[in-house]
Chain A
Amino acid sequence: MWKWLHPYAKAERAYQLCNTLMPYFAVITVVCLTVGWVWGLAYAPADYQQKDSYRIIFIHVPSAILSMGAYSSMAIAAIIALVWQIRNAELAVISIAPVGAAMTAIALITGAAWGKPMWGAWWVWDARLTSELILLFLYLGVLSLYHAFEDKKSAGRAACILAVVGVINLPIIHFSVEWWNTLHQGATITKFDTSAIDSSMLWPLLINIIAFAGFVGVVTLIRLKNEILQCERHRPWVRELVGRGE
Chain B
Amino acid sequence: MAQHSYWQLFFSVYSKDVTLAFRQRSEIVNPLLFFLIVITLFPLAIGPEPALLKRMAPGIIWVAALLSTMLGLDKLFRDDYNDGSLEQLIASPYPLSLSVLAKVFAHWTITGLPMVLMAPMFALLMNLESQALGATVLTLLIGTPLLSFIGAIGAALTVGLQKGGILMSLLVLPLYIPVLIFATSAIDTSSMSLAYGGQLAILGAMLAVASVCAPIAISSALKVSVS
Q: How far is the CA of A137 from the CA of B169 in the complex (A)?
A: 11
Is A145 positioned at the interface, with any CB of B under 8 Å from its CB? yes
Question: Contacts A154-B225, A161-B220, A172-B206; is A145 near B157 (CB within 8 Å)?
Answer: yes
| Residues in B neighbouring A161, C-beta threshold 8 A | 153, 157, 217, 220-221, 224
Which of B171, B213, B217 gathers most chain A CB within 10 Å? B171
Contact with A along B35-65 (1 / 0, CB 8 A): 0000000000000000000000000000000
Query: When the two chains form their complex, are residues B170 and A140 in contact, meaning their CB atoms are under 8 A apart?
Result: yes
Is A119 positioned at the interface, with any CB of B under 8 Å from its CB? no
Query: When the two chains form their complex, are residues B153 and A165 in contact, meaning their CB atoms are under 8 A apart?
Result: yes
Query: When the two chains form their complex, are residues A154 and B185 in contact, meaning their CB atoms are under 8 A apart?
Result: no
Residue from the list B153, B164, B177, B181 in contact with A148, Cβ < 8 A: B164
SS class, residues of chain A in contact with chain B: helix
Query: When the two chains form their complex, are residues B224 and A137 in contact, meaning their CB atoms are under 8 A apart?
Result: no
Question: Contacts A161-B157, A169-B178, A179-B181; is A154 near B221 (CB within 8 Å)?
Answer: no
Contact with B along A156-167 (1 / 0, CB 8 A): 011001101110
Is B195 positioned at the interface, with any CB of A under 8 Å from its CB? no
| Residues in A neighbouring B161, C-beta threshold 8 A | 148-149
SS class, residues of chain B in contact with chain A: helix
| Residues in B neighbouring A164, C-beta threshold 8 A | 217
Is A188 positioned at the interface, with any CB of B under 8 Å from its CB? no
Contact with A along B125-154 (1 / 0, CB 8 A): 000000000000000000000000000010
Query: When the two chains form their complex, are residues A169 and B175 in contact, meaning their CB atoms are under 8 A apart?
Result: yes
| Residues in B neighbouring A183, C-beta threshold 8 A | 185
Task: Give B164's nearest chain A residue, CB to CB.
Answer: A148
Query: When the two chains form their complex, are residues A145 and B158 in contact, meaning their CB atoms are under 8 A apart?
Result: yes
Query: When the two chains form their complex, are residues A162 and B160 in contact, meaning their CB atoms are under 8 A apart?
Result: no
Query: When the two chains form their complex, are residues A141 and B220 in contact, meaning their CB atoms are under 8 A apart?
Result: no
| Residues in A neighbouring B93, C-beta threshold 8 A | none
Residue from the list B164, B175, B206, B224 in contact with A165, Cβ < 8 A: B175
Task: Give B168's nearest chain A residue, CB to CB.
Answer: A145
Residue from the list B175, B213, B227 in contact with A154, Cβ < 8 A: B227
Contact with B along A36-75 (1 / 0, CB 8 A): 0000000000000000000000000000000000000000
Q: How far is the CA of A4 from the CA of B75 in the complex (A)?
A: 46
Is A231 positioned at the interface, with any CB of B under 8 Å from its CB? no
Query: When the two chains form their complex, are residues A158 and B177 in contact, meaning their CB atoms are under 8 A apart?
Result: no
| Residues in A neighbouring B167, C-beta threshold 8 A | 144-145, 148
> Which residues of A come within 8 Å of B, CB atoms?
82, 134, 137-138, 140-141, 144-145, 148-149, 154, 157-158, 161-162, 164-166, 168-169, 172-173, 176-177, 179-180, 183
| Interface pairs (24), CB distance under 8 Å | A82-B220, A137-B173, A137-B174, A140-B170, A144-B170, A145-B158, A145-B171, A148-B158, A148-B164, A149-B160, A149-B161, A154-B160, A158-B157, A158-B221, A161-B153, A162-B171, A169-B175, A173-B177, A176-B177, A176-B178, A176-B181, A176-B182, A177-B177, A179-B181
- Name 18 extra pairs, CB < 8 A, besides A141-B174, A165-B153: A145-B167, A148-B158, A149-B161, A154-B224, A157-B224, A158-B224, A161-B153, A161-B217, A161-B220, A161-B221, A162-B157, A166-B175, A169-B175, A169-B178, A173-B175, A176-B177, A180-B185, A183-B185
